A and B are shown apart, each in its own frame.
Chain A
Amino acid sequence: MLAHLTRGERQLALIILLALALCGLVMAAVGRDDPFGVHGALVLAAALAGALVVISGYYLPVARRPDLYYDDPSKVGILVAMGWAVFGLFVGDWVAWLLVNPDLTFDAGWSSFGRIRPVHTTAVIFGFGGNALIATSFYVMQRTCRARLPDQLSPWFVLSGYNLFCLLAVSGYLIGITQSREYAEPEWYADIWLVIVWVVYFALYVRVLARRREPHIYVANWYYLAFILVVAVLHIVNNLAVPISFGQAKSYSLFAGVQDAMTEWWYGHNAVAFFLTAGFLGMMYYYLPKRAGRPIYSYRMSIISFWGITFFYMWAGSHHLHYTALPHWVQTLGMTFSVMLLVPSWASAGNALLTLNGAWHKVRDDATLRFMMVAAVFYGLSTFEGSFMAIRSVNSLSHYTDWTVGHVHAGALGWVAMITFGSIYASVPWLWKREAMYSARLVEAHFWLAVAGTLIYVFAMWNSGIIQGLMWRTYNDSGTLAYSFVDSLVAMQPYYVARAVGGLLFLAGALVGCWNIWMTIRTAPRAADEPVAGGLEPRAGVPALQPGE
């Protein structure tokens, strides 16, 4: 890790880590009667562990700067992302089984559904997704700009700082620290830390762009940029809060009631848009054409879809609040823009699939490319479903039911996880200079486990959600409600079992993937020569995307 850091960077790393350790020590001291103190100790331990690594490697000779690109942070980021994937999917399946058998718990606070459910969502969205985005963005920005990362320290700061945030988040829920804002549960101090990490991330990105040797900024970077920028705006506004003291974890949101609900879902829906969509579209726009060996089908479609997504999505959050106490005009705006959103979404999905024209035989033979193809299909399907569910009358049935959960997982498993696995399988041999993955058949096995798991999951939730929604609104002949709430709950049982089985298959696929990646690094034969195996490294900008084609 340290090999390429200059002496000065090693010193700076040490200073940062010692400052962080001091920060942790102060937190632990002032918050000794509060869960805040536990997090202080965690920060202290993490900083000291980091300092130990730096000190132990401090006098190692400074390796020659790699001529082309600096990829060590991407390598570590991918491994960390896979670790989070296994952890997050495991916890997800555990909470799924809890709805089948609620006593699969330890009569302890930390293991109850309400605390580990955010552990699942945070671990998969921010742990797995976020690390994959950071790792691939470092890789992609260097290639498409034909510029090396400007220094060796800031990528490590971003990666490890971000993972410290994830650790604070996940451990916090277990000991009862949460803001209860869905997908933004971490408390004020973790939020502030993320802002610091994010500023460095943004600065790093802009510095690479400034050093680029390509006149045009490649489309993948538009998406990564939008991801970084808009997530920052959303994060800051949504997390405005007043802590009860600077030595305690608890804070109270600045907004209340209807304004708070709108802010939360403006954030929540755009976390989907700019974290789970924009970032991963960036991934897709690089890895899919590269793996297929085909240029992006249409430059104009990428422009339309990019600006459409950036503009329309920000209006769509209020479709989470149909028929609520939110004013009707805001609901209507949200619905309208959600339906319009189908245009840029399908432009992206179509652009991806049309790029594969002429490479369909590769899709047939290469499970890595097939991961990306299926991801684009699921992206198209779930964006259609999303626009459909945002229509007020459809939403009256779907809202509050498992249909929403199914929709989210069609996107999260089918789109986000599949494009990530595809991109990881593409980049691991490139990064570690291997000829290919250790086993193509294991990639194939992972692919089918992932597809089967996703389909079982999504079909189970469609069924349970629609049955639930219908049972809640069914009247009998005498004009009273036909079913009690408990009736609808009992009807869910078989689907909850099926969902948990689907999740288990998906988890098994991820484990296969981890084994395969590990064996690739350990044993696969080295590629003959640089820069990359397969000779697919496109010269950025020009062949992958043809401006004004």
Chain B
Amino acid sequence: MFGIHYRLERMAVGFVLAIIGVASIGGLVEIAPLFTIHRTVEDAPDMRVYTPLELAGRNIYMREGCYACHSQMIRTLRDEVERYGHYSLAVESKYDHPMLWGSKRTGPDLARVGGKYSDHWHVVHLANPRDVVPQSVMPAYGWLARTDLKTRDLSRHLQAMRAVGVPYTDEMIANAAADAYGQAAPDSPLAGGVTSRYGDATTVRAFDGHPDRLTEVDALVAYLQILGRLTNAARTAAAGK
């Protein structure tokens, strides 16, 4: 064996090919089957896609690096299930490009934070977390409420998401900007389009309390409120046991 190596290390090209070959095996064996084994991701026919506003909120979540301190993956451990709710299912992040499972909990897990607090709580908390949780070490995100949401290119976002496999319809893509406004302005004529395209269960609310102005905090709160609620798969699974 060492004799073979003694010869191998005299050939640059052979050595390069050997490294590539040896290093490729692990990834191929572990990653490729995840795309082909059907059981990897559960079926959830009721799974809906993110609305344009929620997607914009998700992008703000990523931009601000929220994932550095908050996980979105409840593990199959008793204490986690009791603290955060049913353990996360693979299907719940099947439209997450990229996933935001996270790796660190400086703050609590957010996989099922949707519906846990009121919109108003989130708005106050984002403006200054210590107003509602005095011991918190989370940064204040005051500028989110001061910044208008950029909606002009939301159609392109949906289009790119469709290109990577999320089933957005032509209608959704065409109305992306209007739907973003509609979802945060329940009394406006645009609101109806949101529920007709994304389902009656979609939350259509003035998230920051100001239906006349669409800010980044509207988008982020809309996203936080949908976390864990895109599908009922986990609740159905829990009830079935």
Contacts and interface: CB of A to CB of B under 8 A. Distances in A.
Contact of A229 (B19, B142, B161): B19
A210 B27 CA distance: 30
Contacts of B41: 257-258
A109 B29 contact: no
Given A112-B139, A114-B65, A257 B160 contact: no
Contact of A256 (B89, B93, B102, B107): B93
Given A216-B9, A225-B19, A481-B83, A109 B64 contact: yes
Interface stretch (A163-171, A262-270, A507-515, A530-538): A262-270
Given A244-B156, A320-B103, A181 B98 contact: yes
A108 B160 contact: no
Contacts of A320: 103
A245 interface: yes
Interface string A382-416: 00000000000000100111001100000000000
Contact of A266 (B19, B27, B103, B107): B27
B77 A323 contact: yes
A280 B135 CA distance: 41
B98 A327 contact: no
Contacts of B225: none
A489 B95 CA distance: 32
Contacts of B88: 324-325
B120 interface: no
A263 B97 CA distance: 12
B160 A244 contact: yes
Given A113-B68, A310-B19, A333-B29, A264 B98 contact: yes
Interface string A56-99: 00000000000000000000000000000000000000000011
Contacts of A245: 153, 156
B22 A222 contact: no
Given A102-B137, A180-B67, A314 B98 contact: no
A282 interface: no
Given A244-B156, A324-B73, A261 B99 contact: yes
Contacts of A547: 6, 9
B35 interface: yes
Interface string A486-504: 1001100000100000000
Most buried by B among A114, A216, A317: A114
A98 B138 CA distance: 9
B169 interface: no
Contacts, number: 270
Contacts of B10: 215-217
A180 B2 CA distance: 44
B31 interface: yes
A78 B137 CA distance: 37
B100 interface: yes
Contact of B135 (A250, A314, A490): A490
Interface string B159-189: 1110111100000000000000000000000
Contacts of A323: 75-77
Contact of B98 (A180, A229, A324, A330): A180
Interface residues of B, number: 90
Contact of A114 (B66, B83, B97): B66
A206 B27 contact: no
A229 B16 contact: yes
A325 B139 contact: no
A305 interface: no
B5 A303 contact: yes
Contact of B69 (A114, A257, A266): A114
B23 A230 contact: yes
Contacts of B34: 258-259, 262, 327, 330
Contact of B65 (A103, A113, A548): A113
A481 B82 contact: yes
Contacts of A251: 160
Interface in B27-64: 27, 29-31, 34-35, 37, 39-41, 59, 62-64
A520 B71 CA distance: 47
B94 interface: yes
Interface in A204-248: 206, 209-210, 215-217, 222, 225-226, 229-230, 233, 237, 241-245, 248
A312 B26 CA distance: 7
Contact of A404 (B3, B12, B103): B103
Contact of B94 (A180, A257, A473): A257
A472 B83 contact: yes
B133 interface: yes
B25 interface: yes
Contact of A180 (B62, B87, B107, B164): B62
B82 to A, nearest CB: 6
B156 to A, nearest CB: 4
A148 interface: no
B205 interface: no
A252 B75 contact: no
B121 interface: no
Interface in A173-218: 173, 176-182, 206, 209-210, 215-217
Nearest to B102: A400
A253 B137 contact: no
Given A230-B23, A244-B160, A102 B64 contact: no
Most buried by B among A176, A209, A400: A400
Interface string B123-153: 0000001100101111111110000000001
B28 to A, nearest CB: 9
Nearest to A334: B30
Nearest to A100: B137
Given A217-B9, A333-B29, A473-B77, A405 B104 contact: yes
A233 B133 contact: no
Nearest to A311: B22
A84 B28 CA distance: 35
A180 B100 contact: yes
Given A225-B19, A547-B9, 6 more contacts: A99-B106, A180-B65, A217-B9, A242-B160, A250-B157, A325-B93
Interface of B: 2-3, 5-6, 9-10, 12-13, 15-16, 19-20, 22-27, 29-31, 34-35, 37, 39-41, 59, 62-69, 71, 73, 75-77, 79-80, 82-83, 87-109, 129-130, 133, 135-143, 153, 156-157, 159-161, 163-166
Q: Which 8 A-B pairs have the closest CB atoms?
A: A114-B65, A314-B26, A323-B75, A315-B26, A257-B93, A253-B98, A180-B62, A325-B90
Interface of A: 98-100, 102-103, 105, 107-109, 112-115, 117-118, 173, 176-182, 206, 209-210, 215-217, 222, 225-226, 229-230, 233, 237, 241-245, 248, 250-264, 266, 299-300, 303, 307, 310-318, 320-327, 330, 333-334, 337, 396, 399-401, 404-405, 472-473, 475, 480-481, 485-486, 489-490, 496, 547-548
